[in-house]
Structure 1
Amino acid sequence: MEQIAHDFGVHPVTLSKWLRQADVEDGIKPGVTANQAAELREAKRRIRRLEQENEVLRRAAAYLLRAGSDGGSHSTEG
């Protein structure tokens, strides 16, 4: 392993990580494939965005509720 790593110009630990990831990608060993990792990153990004949008809507609803209770909605009476 060390000779192969030397031939590739990398540290033996790096080569070991590459081999382990290749086994995961090939389904030989359990783990997260590169595709699964990319999907997870995208899902987390979408969740963050949705949480931000939800917060904006929550604040807007609270603002509108306060504005309505200040007498703005009573102008149609009479």
Structure 2
Amino acid sequence: MTSKTTNKFSPEVRDRAVRMVLDHAGEHPSRWAAVTSIAAKIGCTPQTLHDWVKKAEVDSGQRAGFPTEMAEKLKALERENRELRQANEILRKASAYFAMAELDRRSKP
């Protein structure tokens, strides 16, 4: 899945950071404390790392939500649906235009 912004961190770094949070959460008073500590070490914001952790949990089935793969498929289907609706609208207008032109042609002697 591509972002509108340039991703500063490779998927490998993200996966490693998420694993670090999950593996070391017990060593901190709260999960947020673990996220904050690890985010500072890899150079991202705690909120970004927290989002990565939540996404990983959804993808693994530990948290409710749409897995990344399903979200990507849904987005692609919505884009295809939008394109097909636009194509149908263009064809509908073209059909009406040519039908009107044919009627004009027949009505002229």
Does the TM-score normalized on the shorter chain lie above 0.5?
yes
User: Matched residues in 2 for 1:60 and 1:11: separation?
Assistant: 52
Task: Give the deviation of 1:71 after TM superposition.
Answer: 3.9
User: Matched residues in 2 for 1:73 and 1:64: separation?
Assistant: 14
The C-alpha deviation readout for 1:21-69, integer Å capped at 9, x for no partner, is: 1100001111122211211221122112111110111012111221222
| Greater shift in the superposed pair: 40-49 or 64-73 | 64-73
CA-atom RMSD in angstroms: 2.1
User: Matched residues in 2 for 1:22 and 1:55: separation?
Assistant: 40
Higher relative contact order (CA 8 A, sep 6+): 2
- Structure 2 segments unaligned to the other structure (5+ residues): 1-33
User: Matched residues in 1 for 2:40 and 2:106: separation?
Assistant: 76
TM-score by length of 1: 0.78
TM-score by length of 2: 0.59
Percent identical pairs in the alignment equals 36
Asked whether 1:15 is paired with 2:49, we answer yes
Asked whether 1:69 is paired with 2:103, we answer yes
- Structure 1 segments unaligned to the other structure (5+ residues): none
User: Matched residues in 2 for 1:61 and 1:18: separation?
Assistant: 49
User: Matched residues in 2 for 1:3 and 1:19: separation?
Assistant: 14
Asked whether 1:55 is paired with 2:99, we answer no
